[in-house]
Chains A and B, each alone.
Chain A
């Protein structure tokens, strides 16, 4: 284990750490610049703002990438933040999503309200997500979580329609509650251990020495709850459909990827720290893995079966994301068994697929006002390229070849089954079997929209706007090409992931 020990003295440590915080600093700088421009130059062109945003994102991504190759891990700010290969990959994924989302917003028709504010919020959210993905201390986790949450509440309400205000309010109320729960959990853990540093000696000793196992278990679960809420795992998923439906497409695209990617990353770090916590209950021991596995299973089943009945594009995708969250949580569970690479692959696939699907959703919304199934009737004939892309992306979400969706599901099932074989914990087997069979069920709803587009005749209430072709289709095309290329050359992606130093 090679650890770069940053200088002991507090000040020097902070100064040395700052160097590694540059990506986040760049994002914040970009955020302030956009905000300043927005407040003073009322007539600044949209293009200029986009340029600032894209420059800061790509600069930040470049700096992030330049840290590689990295010694196994670097602790920053006395262990508040950990910089490791996994974190860098997740950060790059967050930047990629951020760039796609801002382009989506740039090509969106009929904005309500200012551009500068939107870009400011996006940059704040990205910075928060980057911090969350690398925080290894409950306090920094809490702060970055709050940063993400506040930005996302505002973004959901950005459409300024009654429905989106309602959605934002719901999101806010649920979110505020879970924040409170999170803080309560932290305070309990602090009571047990006297520390909040996940890797710290005191913390781990405190966990082991805890006398009241039941309370400790509850405390852990409370801490998890806030992140489960962000990733929309059952039973904390209730906000998802309404918020998805209420948000505009760029915001939706953002919410479906960035906070979830960062949240699931933080979840995996938490699980890594807490995996040994277990509870003896009437003779039987329940460990945290079992509880999480049940939640993952429940999310998969609930998401998949509820999605079957949805006719609204966004709501269908909301339930699909709940089901996907179950898969992501399953991927987290096999991380301690050595499946980090599979976890990263799965999360990457999820992000790319969702970005592509939402870019296309926005495309259809802007060109045809298409949101519910009936609006999609016969649209394949009108736009064959977009239709084909939607088919491929949906096939990818289902997890069929020849898409990356298939490869990552295959490797996920492999990892789960391998973990089952290694330790013999039966929940891994259940997750594998359920995952495979839910794939068939999910085919039915994923194909719903392509089906309506291809097989049905155009209806009477067909509304077509003569919107000029926008760049949205290129975004979707990019995502589709990525999922196809990486299917045929999975080694290109996996070699990159494997070259990262793994640490938790």
Chain B
């Protein structure tokens, strides 16, 4: 079981989806309990996984000797013979390292809380939980897969359950929001598809190729020596075309030696497309694909619609996890495979981050609907992720990852808060309420925790993330971009404090008043169920705010590896590309 724990984490929700379909649809309590049990089990599994990391030595796989994976699992899946084009290998390759460990934990927490938040859903519960589990499985799959094909499969497949969950259980404009979400993210993923095709045409699997050209009898015996031999023969063009095993393996793609000389994305003998390098174009396409999912301004317009129309638990999953899929994809794929791209485009990316931050915050300030306000605050926080990535040093990347994690917890809590209010009165307008703290004191405390955490008050998880990002961007200011950029970013902090505090003041403080049409009697304080979903999140936000090392430990090593790749490999690649382009 130890060897297969990653697969169990991916497939447990998928199996649960099938089991859910077999349960009787009249027995709603059973369905809920089953869902709760299954997600709790996933949570336990991921906790076991995280806490036992150091105890299980990493098993070496010969693709990236320097990169430490905590767990890796690889199975042959499809090996196609495409005649004179060569062979094509798709493997089932999942692995855990510092980049995705935190994301798996976050998903497990948020998905569990999401089931508690779904308790009040009555309409077609069976279908709801089946789709919820499909979504959960593809989320885990997306975070864990290290094969591009597998990643893309989960990345795309995530859209379908999400589309139905928004479109069927959502608010008044659900259909519009669902199709908008689908079309936006699908167009994003097509940019990724283009690069995926280019990549697998260019990259070979050194291990399988070694077997194919007869260096070793089988995969198990391949060692570093053979890989070097393959690289040598490849660079000299000694391997015939039909013996090359093309691959979707992301680890192979991260090593430039695996690129076939003269192929479209190769550095050696790379192409020059009218003064542009295909590698740079590929980086930009991937970047574009992932920032649509992230989302960054100007591709963010699907987000407020989807968040506002989705039912509370789905908003929670959407903001808590799905946005992070975009951010995680950015870290793993464009940064890992085309490290020179981030060096080249650091400044524009930082500008994009700044715009997202400021524009998102200003929008949040103007929103009349509490849920929309929270949605725009997500856009602003994702701006921080972009800023951290653009800094491309350990602090910045750590900050970006920490922001993904902390924003996952905080935004989940925020959407739950909006849901609590909406459940009671069916009205989320800020102007409909005043002085709620008199009627709902416990609720108000939760709101204060979430709001303060979100605008980065010290002591909460959000603070650590923001401080790391700022450390990162101030360190490189003057080098990668002018100093005014990080200074302007601090304006984002002020704005976020402004919209949260102003909302707090308008809705919760002052004399008690609500819009006369709303049922005043329904404004009871938190129920046990609501405590059970808000409290754990609040505690986690505190813990990760006070002991950041708990999380940073997980990611440090991989982040350092990534920084190394960006700095060294990226520098080398960039020099080679610029030389090729004759600049």
> What 0/1 pattern do residues 177 to 204 of B give for CB contact below 8 A with A?
0110011001100100110011011000
Indicate if B264 sits at the interface (CB-CB under 8 A). Answer: yes
> What 0/1 pattern do residues 404 to 443 of A give for CB contact below 8 A with B?
0010001101110110010000000000010011011001
A458 smallest CB distance to B (angstroms): 15
A395 to B174 alpha-carbon distance, docked (Å)? 21
What residue in chain A is nearest B246 (Cβ atoms)?
A: A414
Instruction: Check B85 against A436 for contact (C-beta < 8 Å).
Output: no
> What 0/1 pattern do residues 428 to 472 of A give for CB contact below 8 A with B?
000001001101100110010001001100000000000000000
A451 to B264 alpha-carbon distance, docked (Å)? 40
Indicate if B212 sits at the interface (CB-CB under 8 A). Answer: no
Instruction: Check B81 against A489 for contact (C-beta < 8 Å).
Output: no
Instruction: Check B83 against A455 for contact (C-beta < 8 Å).
Output: no
Indicate if B168 sits at the interface (CB-CB under 8 A). Answer: yes
Residue in contact with B84 in the complex, picked from A338, A400, A402, CB distance below 8 Å: A338
A159 to B200 alpha-carbon distance, docked (Å)? 50
A440-B190, A491-B78 in contact; A451/B83 too (CB < 8 A)?
no
Which residues of B41-92 have CB atoms within 8 Å of chain A's CB atoms?
78-85, 90
A115 to B82 alpha-carbon distance, docked (Å)? 44
B181 smallest CB distance to A (angstroms): 12
For chain B, the count of residues having a C-beta within 8 Å of the partner chain is 35
Instruction: Check B183 against A444 for contact (C-beta < 8 Å).
Output: yes
Indicate if A494 sits at the interface (CB-CB under 8 A). Answer: yes
A338-B83, A455-B168 in contact; A402/B157 too (CB < 8 A)?
yes
A411 to B78 alpha-carbon distance, docked (Å)? 13
Instruction: Check B81 against A440 for contact (C-beta < 8 Å).
Output: no
A411 to B175 alpha-carbon distance, docked (Å)? 33
Instruction: Check B183 against A440 for contact (C-beta < 8 Å).
Output: yes
Instruction: Check A454 against B201 for contact (C-beta < 8 Å).
Output: no
Indicate if B152 sits at the interface (CB-CB under 8 A). Answer: yes
What residue in chain A is nearest B198 (Cβ atoms)?
A: A417
Instruction: Check A436 against B194 for contact (C-beta < 8 Å).
Output: yes
Indicate if A490 sits at the interface (CB-CB under 8 A). Answer: yes
Residue in contact with A455 in the complex, picked from B78, B85, B175, B182, CB distance below 8 Å: B175
B500 smallest CB distance to A (angstroms): 35
What residue in chain A is nearest B200 (Cβ atoms)?
A: A414
Residues of B within 8 A of A454 (CB): 164, 167-168
Instruction: Check B182 against A410 for contact (C-beta < 8 Å).
Output: no
Instruction: Check B183 against A417 for contact (C-beta < 8 Å).
Output: no
Residues of B within 8 A of A495 (CB): 81
Residue in contact with B197 in the complex, picked from A414, A444, A489, CB distance below 8 Å: A414
Instruction: Check B81 against A401 for contact (C-beta < 8 Å).
Output: no
Instruction: Check A498 against B168 for contact (C-beta < 8 Å).
Output: no
Instruction: Check B167 against A455 for contact (C-beta < 8 Å).
Output: yes
A401-B156, A451-B179, A490-B78 in contact; A436/B193 too (CB < 8 A)?
yes
What residue in chain A is nearest B188 (Cβ atoms)?
A: A440
Indicate if B160 sits at the interface (CB-CB under 8 A). Answer: yes
Instruction: Check A439 against B157 for contact (C-beta < 8 Å).
Output: no
Indicate if A342 sits at the interface (CB-CB under 8 A). Answer: yes
Residues of A within 8 A of B263 (CB): 421
Indicate if B213 sits at the interface (CB-CB under 8 A). Answer: no
A443 to B186 alpha-carbon distance, docked (Å)? 9
A454 to B164 alpha-carbon distance, docked (Å)? 9
Residues of A within 8 A of B488 (CB): none
A274 to B194 alpha-carbon distance, docked (Å)? 31
B339 smallest CB distance to A (angstroms): 24
Instruction: Check B153 against A338 for contact (C-beta < 8 Å).
Output: no
Residue in contact with B85 in the complex, picked from A418, A437, A443, A491, CB distance below 8 Å: A418
Residue in contact with A494 in the complex, picked from B80, B152, B159, B190, CB distance below 8 Å: B80
Indicate if A341 sits at the interface (CB-CB under 8 A). Answer: yes
Residues of B within 8 A of A411 (CB): 82
Instruction: Check B156 against A491 for contact (C-beta < 8 Å).
Output: no
Residues of B within 8 A of A433 (CB): 194
Which residues of B235-289 have CB atoms within 8 Å of chain A's CB atoms?
263-264
Instruction: Check A338 against B80 for contact (C-beta < 8 Å).
Output: no
A395 to B168 alpha-carbon distance, docked (Å)? 18
A323 to B174 alpha-carbon distance, docked (Å)? 30
Instruction: Check A498 against B83 for contact (C-beta < 8 Å).
Output: yes
Instruction: Check A498 against B81 for contact (C-beta < 8 Å).
Output: yes
Instruction: Check A490 against B156 for contact (C-beta < 8 Å).
Output: no
Instruction: Check A421 against B264 for contact (C-beta < 8 Å).
Output: yes
Residues of A within 8 A of B152 (CB): 401
A418-B85, A495-B81 in contact; A440/B168 too (CB < 8 A)?
no
Residues of A within 8 A of B79 (CB): 491
Instruction: Check A342 against B82 for contact (C-beta < 8 Å).
Output: yes
Residues of A within 8 A of B201 (CB): 414, 417-418, 421
Instruction: Check B167 against A341 for contact (C-beta < 8 Å).
Output: no
Instruction: Check B197 against A440 for contact (C-beta < 8 Å).
Output: no
A361 to B168 alpha-carbon distance, docked (Å)? 23
What residue in chain B is nearest A437 (Cβ atoms)?
A: B190
B192 smallest CB distance to A (angstroms): 11
Residues of A within 8 A of B82 (CB): 341-342, 411, 414, 494
Residues of B within 8 A of A406 (CB): 156
What residue in chain A is nearest B163 (Cβ atoms)?
A: A447
What residue in chain B is nearest A340 (Cβ atoms)?
A: B83
A400 to B187 alpha-carbon distance, docked (Å)? 12
Residues of B within 8 A of A490 (CB): 78, 80, 90
Residue in contact with B83 in the complex, picked from A341, A421, A444, CB distance below 8 Å: A341
What residue in chain A is nearest B170 (Cβ atoms)?
A: A455
Residues of B within 8 A of A439 (CB): 190
Residues of A within 8 A of B156 (CB): 400-401, 406
Instruction: Check B83 against A402 for contact (C-beta < 8 Å).
Output: no
A406 to B159 alpha-carbon distance, docked (Å)? 15
A23 to B511 alpha-carbon distance, docked (Å)? 89
Residues of B within 8 A of A340 (CB): 83
Residues of B within 8 A of A489 (CB): 78
A411 to B402 alpha-carbon distance, docked (Å)? 38
A228 to B143 alpha-carbon distance, docked (Å)? 46
Instruction: Check B81 against A494 for contact (C-beta < 8 Å).
Output: yes
Residues of A within 8 A of B175 (CB): 451, 455
B189 smallest CB distance to A (angstroms): 9
Residues of A within 8 A of B183 (CB): 440, 443-444
Instruction: Check B182 against A443 for contact (C-beta < 8 Å).
Output: yes
B449 smallest CB distance to A (angstroms): 37
Residues of B within 8 A of A498 (CB): 81, 83
What residue in chain A is nearest B184 (Cβ atoms)?
A: A440
Residues of A within 8 A of B160 (CB): 391, 395, 400
Report the 10 A-B pairs with minimum CB-CB distance, sorted nearest first.
A401-B153, A440-B187, A491-B78, A494-B80, A338-B84, A401-B156, A490-B78, A455-B175, A498-B81, A455-B167
Other 20 A-B pairs with CB < 8 A, given A433-B194, A455-B168, A455-B175: A338-B85, A341-B82, A341-B83, A400-B156, A401-B152, A401-B156, A414-B82, A417-B197, A417-B198, A417-B201, A436-B190, A436-B193, A440-B186, A440-B190, A447-B182, A455-B178, A490-B90, A491-B79, A494-B81, A494-B82
Can you list 14 A-B contacts (CB < 8 A)? A342-B82, A400-B160, A400-B186, A401-B152, A402-B153, A413-B197, A417-B264, A421-B263, A440-B187, A447-B182, A451-B175, A455-B174, A490-B90, A491-B79
